[in-house]
Amino acid sequence: MEFLRALTVWAKGDAQQGKIMLGIGLLLVLFLYLILKSENQLLNGMLIPVGLLLIGNLGYGSYLLYSRAKHIATTTELYQQNPKETIQKELTKMQADSKSYTMIKRVWAVLIVISVIAFFFLKNDYFKGLALGFLCLSVSFLLLDTLLHQRLKPYVEILTNSIH
């Protein structure tokens, strides 16, 4: 039973984060509109990274919202049929996800450093805006992935303890 409770807490937390990402995406639509109306070169440079941030928030936020509710239902059904096998499969999948989060967080950190360095070395306002936009993109995705990873860790621990 502890497994089903942990599954629900993890999945509902991810779905809640998906809702927040969708809300941020809607705010980014407004920001993109303001960028398009602006003639400021710094803001124009931010257009591409902010657009990517918008796509990432709307796309992954929608995925989290849709998939986590479905995941609770299918995993609960599988658990009722074969508890040990379901926990083992879930643990394998979640360990792979945890490894992916660890790797991608390093990528975001490197992109943050590159963006900061580029911002200070570039002279053209458009390219400074591009660097600033990629800095915002990288910080945002680092934050999102860190929150997702932190929520996953206790779930993996419960799965590990359930097997032993």
From 19-23, 115-119, 158-162, the region with the lowest mean pLDDT: 158-162
Domain count, the chain: 1
Q: What is the model's pTM? A: 0.91
Residue ranges making up the domain that contains 38: 2-163
> What single-letter DSSP state applies at residue 124?
S
**Span 76-108, pLDDT tens digits:** 999 999 999 999 999 999 999 999 999 999 999
Amino acid letter, residue 110: V
Residue type, 62: S
With 0-12 / 13-18 / 19 or more C-beta atoms within 10 angstroms meaning exposed / middle / buried, residue 20 is: middle
Alpha helices in the chain (DSSP H): 2-37, 41-45, 47-81, 83-121, 125-163
Q: Which two tokens stand for residue 52?
A: 């990517």
